[in-house]
Structures are given as structure tokens and as C-alpha cells.
């Protein structure tokens, strides 16, 4: 049995599901793009190739090995993008929540069923159909649960809007003792530099009391201020529009003092090290072309 335990983003990681880039399928057509960044690379002919992405993910697997983290991988589905395990499910405390994802991604959940089978079935939940919520929008901070959403009346027109207010309410009802705070995110179907696909594209806690933040990712200044007040401005590393586009806030913590980062995040790596955090550098720039990075491709099951 797997005894789930995840209460925040930074406690010592013991078990994780890491996606896979093997048999990733052909380059999508323009009509098949889920997000504006993939679309940009499909049009430019720079969409990542499988061999490069497999190498990048293996580099992450090696870091986990170094820190004695138990790594689960999805079962292989031929010609299917199975990189982003964070989209399909997430753990809060000891509850495993299956996400209601875009319908054609359902088989990705089936590929981790062998892991779900090792969890107490009473602790596995699936929201009803009208509830949209993806793991990239759910951020744990001990007594708080931060959730990214989109409150625009045109929600249904945005394939980049992945979590609705019904999703926020569902989590509030499931965890009545937590402080659940939603954040209204900026969405764009065409400009990846102005699209916060998930909350982890514009915010993520690191270390004990610090965070990485992109102010313009929030539609309401009050949402941004909520985090400034909670963390303290001096504890937040503000990223630029271009750094947001390159997904600087989408790193992944193994513990309060170890962070896996894309090797090109120069300014961020310097700041992390100045704050006493060890940075494990990996190449992840090819995977980043699909508007997802390290946090998106990991699903933590157990943190101390």
C-alpha cells in the first residue's frame, strides 16, 4: 500500500510519479494544439522531438535517484503524450484526486491505474463531470490550498482555462478545515507570454517561506497582493514576462533546501543559491516548448 501524504510543495519528497516522453506520438497539427506555446512551436517547425525529451526526463529521474526518491512511471501508451502527470491527478494530504481532464487525455489516467490500485480506495476521489480542476492549478501550503482559475464569462471558449469555480468549490467542500483561496489567472489562446495556463505558471512556493511569482499572471491585483501579504514581498522572487514564458516558476522542490531547475534559469538559480537552496540543474528547454516544465511532469505521492 502507498500511504499518501502531501501537505505542501517543499517537504522532503519520498515518492513521485514522473511522466514519460517515450512513444510521445507525432508532432500535433495546428488544430490539435492544447496551448499557445505548443502552437507557436508547431507553426515554427521547432516542436520538440521525442529523443530530446526522453533525455531531459531521464536527467530528472537521475536526480530523484540521487536523493533516494521512489519513482513511479506511467505504463506506456503508444503515440500518446504522457509527460504531464500533474494534469491528470494530484494529492492533498492523504487524498488522491483524479482530475477531469480534456476528454482525449483519459487514457493517461488509465496508465497510472496500477499505482492507484496501491492506494486505499476510500482515499481516491473523482469530482463530478461539471467540476474542472487540474493539478497544475492546485498548490498546497500547509493550512492553505491555493487554486488557479478563470472567472471570465467566456470560460468555455478557452482551452487554456482548465479549472472552473465549481472546481474551487469542490475542493472547499472536500477540505473544510483548509483555507482555500482561488486566483483569477490571465488566459490567452494565442500569446503564450500572456497565458498563465495553470497557477504554477505564475507562482510557486519554495524553501520554508519563499516563493517565485509573476505579477502580471493575475487578473486581479488583489490576488497578487494576497500572496505578497502572506509571504512578505522580500521573500518573493519576481520573474519577468520572458521568464514566465520560459516557465521559471515551474521548478520542482525535492525538499526545503533542494530545488530542480532548468539549467538556463540563470537569475532564478542565483537567487535560490543566495537563499541557501541547492539547485539541481537539468536540461528541460525542449519539454518547456509544450507550456509545461518540472512541476507539470511530476505528481508527488509522499512528502515527509
Question: Domain map of the chain by residue range?
Answer: 13-303
pLDDT in tens, 170-195: 999 999 999 999 999 987 766 767 77
Integer angstrom CA distances of residue 26 from 21, 29, 90, 291: 12, 9, 27, 17
pLDDT attached to residue 159 = 62
C-alpha dihedral, 264 to 76 to 74 to 52, nearest 10°:
-10
Q: Which three cell numbers stand for residue 251?
A: 521548478
- At residue 138, the pLDDT reads 97
- Per-residue pLDDT tens for 54-108? 999 999 999 999 999 999 999 999 999 999 999 999 999 999 999 987 777 889 9
What pLDDT is recorded for position 208? 96
Pair 34, 25: CB distance under 8 Å: no
The per-residue pLDDT for range 8-58, each reduced to its tens digit, is 999 999 999 999 999 988 888 888 876 778 888 888 889 999 999 999 999
**pLDDT of 296 strictly over 90:** yes
Q: Write out pLDDT tens, residues 142-180.
A: 999 999 998 877 767 766 667 889 999 999 999 999 999
| Whole-number pLDDT of residue 192 | 67
- At 197 the pLDDT is 76
Q: What is the pLDDT of residue 161?
A: 64
Mean pLDDT of all residues in 210-217: 96
- The average confidence (pLDDT) of the chain is 93
The pTM is what? Answer: 0.94
**Cα–Cα distance, 57 to 282 (Å, whole number):** 9
Residues paired with residue 146 on neighbouring β-strands, in sequence order: 139, 181
Q: What percent of the chain has pLDDT over 70?
A: 97
pLDDT (0 to 100) of residue 4: 98
Q: Which residue has the higher pLDDT, 132 or 179?
A: 179
What stretches of 89-209 adopt beta strand conformation (E)? Answer: 89-92, 95-98, 124-125, 138-141, 144-149, 179-184, 203-206
Looking at domain 13-303, its CATH architecture is: 5-stranded Propeller (3.75)
User: d(Cα 291, Cα 268) in Å, to the nearest integer?
Assistant: 18
Amino acid at each position: 500500500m502507498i500511504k499518501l501524504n502531501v501537505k505542501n510543495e517543499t517537504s522532503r519528497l519520498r515518492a513521485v510519479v514522473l511522466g514519460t516522453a517515450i512513444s510521445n506520438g507525432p508532432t500535433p497539427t495546428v488544430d490539435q494544439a492544447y496551448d499557445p506555446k505548443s502552437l507557436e512551436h508547431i507553426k515554427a517547425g521547432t516542436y520538440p522531438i521525442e529523443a530530446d525529451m526522453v533525455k531531459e526526463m531521464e536527467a530528472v529521474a537521475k536526480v530523484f535517484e540521487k536523493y533516494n526518491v521512489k519513482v513511479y512511471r506511467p505504463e506506456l501508451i503508444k503515440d500518446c503524450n504522457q509527460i504531464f502527470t500533474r494534469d491528470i491527478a494530484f494529492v492533498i494530504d492523504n487524498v488522491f484526486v483524479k482530475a477531469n481532464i480534456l476528454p482525449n487525455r483519459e487514457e493517461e489516467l488509465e496508465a497510472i491505474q496500477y499505482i492507484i490500485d496501491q492506494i486505499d480506495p476510500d482515499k481516491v476521489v473523482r469530482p463530478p463531470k461539471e467540476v474542472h480542476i487540474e493539478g497544475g492549478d492546485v498548490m498546497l501550503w500547509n493550512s492553505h490550498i491555493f487554486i488557479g482559475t478563470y472567472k471570465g464569462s467566456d470560460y468555455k471558449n478557452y482551452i487554456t482555462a482548465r479549472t472552473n469555480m465549481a472546481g474551487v468549490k469542490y475542493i472547499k467542500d472536500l477540505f473544510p478545515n483548509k483555507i482555500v483561496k482561488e486566483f483569477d489567472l490571465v488566459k490567452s489562446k494565442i500569446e503564450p507570454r500572456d497565458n498563465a495556463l495553470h497557477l504554477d505558471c505564475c507562482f510557486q512556493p519554495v524553501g520554508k517561506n519563499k516563493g517565485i511569482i509573476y505579477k502580471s499572471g493575475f487578473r486581479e491585483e488583489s490576488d497578487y497582493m494576497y500572496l505578497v501579504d502572506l509571504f512578505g514581498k522580500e521573500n518573493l522572487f519576481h520573474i519577468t514576462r520572458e521568464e514566465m514564458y520560459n516557465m521559471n516558476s515551474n521548478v520542482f522542490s525535492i525538499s526545503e533546501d533542494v530545488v530542480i531547475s532548468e539549467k538556463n534559469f540563470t537569475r532564478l538559480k542565483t537567487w535560490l543559491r543566495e537563499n541557501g537552496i541547492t539547485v539541481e540543474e537539468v536540461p528541460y528547454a525542449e519539454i518547456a516548448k509544450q507550456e509545461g516544465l518540472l512541476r507539470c511532469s511530476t505528481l508527488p505521492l509522499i512528502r515527509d
